[in-house]
Amino acid sequence: MDFSNNNTVLWNFIHQMGIIAAILIAANIIRLKVPLIKKVLMPTAVLAGFIALLLRTFNIVKLDVKLMEMVTYHTIAIGFIALSLIIPKKEISYSKVFIGAKSGALIVSSYLLQGAVGLSISIALAYTIRPNLFKAAGILLPMGFGQGPGQANNVGLTYEALGFSGGQAFGLSIAATGFLVACTFGVIYLNILRKKNLLRKIDETAVKHTASIEDYESKNEIPVSESIDKFSIQIALVLVVYFATYALAVGLTKILLSTGADFAKSLIPIIWGFNFIFGSLIAVTLRGLIKLFHKTGFMKRQYQNNYLLARIAGYSFDLMIVTGICTINFEKLAGLWLPFILMCAAGAAVTLFYLRWICRKLYPDYYYEGFLSMFGMMTGVISSGVLLLREADPKFETPAANNLVLGSSFGIGFGFPVLLLIGMAPRSDKMALISLLCCLAYFFVLLLYMLLVKPRSRSA
């Protein structure tokens, strides 16, 4: 075997990942050293993605776009699986679960509202001045704004296979614009709140939290390094779950193909595009089985390490953002600039006004923190929401951070019908219109749930 640089198959992955790693480190230095960039609160991974995009666009650095797309696809699933394997440190109170469920409904209702806005624009343009426009293109607005580059990439590629020329670039461009909206508006709004003294006062004299062994390791865990390293076990758990996810997707694909139904076939790309949901469910199931084995005495030691699993998830999501943004191909947006601009502008405005209104209803005691965190997440990713929240609530004294985490978990359940809409919308012109109506109908169902359902009495 040739181990030299002539063997491109052997060295291509290392070469490409080395470039991405160098850009990520450079972006971190820029963010720390350049005052303007630091004030904008742009996540390092987002900045690295834009730098990589510029370097690739101007042919300064050669990046393997196909490889970057593969990395984007796999890292979103790996990240969610790692998060789902984390063991909750303590039982969550009923009140937190209740507001977490409402936060999940808020997240999904925002997707639906963005989807309704996007579909309204794409359908209206397709029936008027852009007759060749893919009518289901509007679904990519919530995928880009609400879900981020991972799902914008997956659904964009799925829609490209169904006839939407430039679908992947369209979705990724919306995701990149969403990050800019989250960062620029977030900073402007934070400065306005500071000038008006509307942010809660921070006790600067309070003792800062000092990390202890409990932050890195729980009781009865396997040793750091015995016959196998603890980190190796975490990687093995994640990859076993991901392999089971792949096997499940293969099985579901074969079952759907055996039916011969057109609608069943249209669900296949959605299964593979949203493999991270199935991965999360399998991971939660495995976590439950391990807990059961502990209760029955079959297992004595704890194999998951929350700290290491969180680091796996964090690295996966950072890598997903960088590789997702850097694969945008602006040339493929030719003829799509009008819907792109209209959707991004309308999506940003509608998301802003909706969240400002609904967050006052759901989070009356910490409205500004709740709004900033949700707006950051619903135009970027969860890390964007955390960054904005950290500026308003540095010590996470409000439940806003918890709402992001619990809300995302409940959002998987509330959001399942959205998967059906994603598969249904591109089937025909009629289905695109029906999908628009379904988005609005389900939006109002969730809205009524958030406004009308009250916590039951705990005194009984």
The model's pLDDT over 407-447, given as tens digits with 9 standing for 90+, comes to 887 887 898 888 888 888 998 889 999 999 999 999 999 99
Do 370 and 398 touch, CB atoms closer than 8 A? yes
How long a stretch of residues is the chain?
A: 460
The residue assigned the tokens 């950290």 is 390
The residue assigned the tokens 């960054």 is 387
What's the rounded mean pLDDT across residues 365-383? 88
User: Rounded to 10 degrees, what is the CA torsion of 347, 353, 358, 359?
Assistant: 100
pLDDT at 409: 77
- The confidence band for 94, taking pLDDT boundaries of 50, 70 and 90, is low
Cβ neighbours of residue 340 under 8 Å, at least 6 residues apart? 170, 173, 174, 333
Domain boundaries, the chain: 98-200+223-303+335-452
Higher pLDDT, 355 or 100: 355
User: Distance (Å, rounded) from C-alpha 299 to C-alpha 289?
Assistant: 10
Nearest CA-CA partner of 286 in 81, 129, 453:
81
Nearest CA-CA partner of 380 in 117, 148, 112, 40:
148
Nearest CA-CA partner of 85 in 326, 288, 254:
288
User: Distance (Å, rounded) from C-alpha 109 to C-alpha 104?
Assistant: 8
Burial class (CB in 10 A: 0-12, 13-18, 19+), 438: buried
pLDDT at 342: 96
List pLDDT tens digits, range 331-367. Answer: 888 889 999 999 999 999 999 999 999 999 999 999 9
| Average per-residue pLDDT for the chain | 86
